[in-house]
Each structure stands twice: as C-alpha cells, then as structure tokens.
C-alpha cells in the first residue's frame, strides 16, 4: 500500500519578501493501538492475542527500566532507543548539576533491516 501525502505551503521568513515553498507531508490513514498490534502478532504466531498483549506491555516496561538505568536498548529488527538530555549551559563544570537538566528525550534510530523495508515504500499524492 502506498503512503499518502499532500503538499503543504510553508513561508520562508528569512527571505525578503517572504516566499512560499511547498513541501510533502505524510497523511496518516488511521491509528493502531496495543490491542490491534497484539491481535496482528497473534495471527502470525502460535500465541493468543492476550499472550501477545502481555508480552508487548512487559516489553515496554522493561525498555523503560533499561533506559532509566542508563542503557541503550537495541532490538534487532526494530532499532535502538537511548536517552539524551537537554539543558542550560554553565561556564564551569562545577556550576553544572542536576538543576541544569531541563528535558529528557528518547532518541530512536531504526535498524538497517527496518530501513531496507522502508525503501520499498511507494507514495501517492492526495489533493
């Protein structure tokens, strides 16, 4: 199935006069939740949907625990997850502390296998 996209105008305010350029923007076709994922995985395995649901919930809990322990989580066919920090700058190392951290983010890097699969995507423009 093709990924639907539309063209979205964006104004470049750094030019004088501001100019409008059009960029592709993916259009979602719906939303899949945990129950949907569990049901689909169950159809491709010998496990029940309830078993798959439990495994997925357990996996998300363990991933969160490993990230908060400072580990990078690598899942072969999916990719890697790791934490990064954002914060305020300090003039010296001594001034830098926990209060300097303003945000924690999870960075996801897809695996090579997943990226290979994504290269097969086709696109369809919608109006």
Span 80-108, pLDDT tens digits: 999 999 999 988 888 888 889 999 999 99
The confidence score (pLDDT) of residue 90 equals: 86
Interval 103-124: pLDDT, tens? 999 999 999 999 999 999 999 9
The confidence score (pLDDT) of residue 109 equals: 97
Q: Across all residues in the chain, what is the average pLDDT? A: 92
Separation of first and last alpha carbons in the chain? 18
Interval 38-57: pLDDT, tens? 999 999 999 999 999 999 99
Please report, for the chain, the start and end positions of each structural domain, with discontinuous segments joined by +: 72-111
Q: For the whole model, what pTM was predicted?
A: 0.74
Q: Where are the beta strands (DSSP E) in the chain?
A: 3-12, 19-26, 73-75, 79-87, 101-110, 123-125
What share of the chain in percent tops pLDDT 70? 99
**Cα 70 to the chain's mean position, in Å?**
19
The confidence score (pLDDT) of residue 58 equals: 96
Residue 18 pLDDT level (bands cut at 50, 70, 90)? confident
């Amino acid at each position: 199935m093709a990924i639907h996209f539309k063209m979205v105008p964006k104004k470049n305010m750094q030019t004088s006069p501001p100019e409008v350029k059009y960029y592709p923007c993916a259009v979602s076709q719906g939303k899949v939740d945990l129950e949907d994922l569990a049901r689909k995985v169950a159809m491709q395995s010998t496990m029940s949907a309830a078993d798959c649901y439990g495994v997925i919930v357990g996996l998300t809990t363990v991933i969160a625990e490993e990230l908060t322990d400072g580990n990078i989580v690598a899942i072969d066919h999916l990719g890697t997850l790791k934490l990064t920090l954002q914060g305020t700058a300090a003039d010296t190392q001594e001034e830098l502390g926990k209060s300097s951290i303003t945000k924690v983010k999870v960075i996801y890097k897809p695996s090579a296998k997943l990226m290979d699969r994504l290269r097969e995507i086709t696109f369809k423009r919608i109006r």
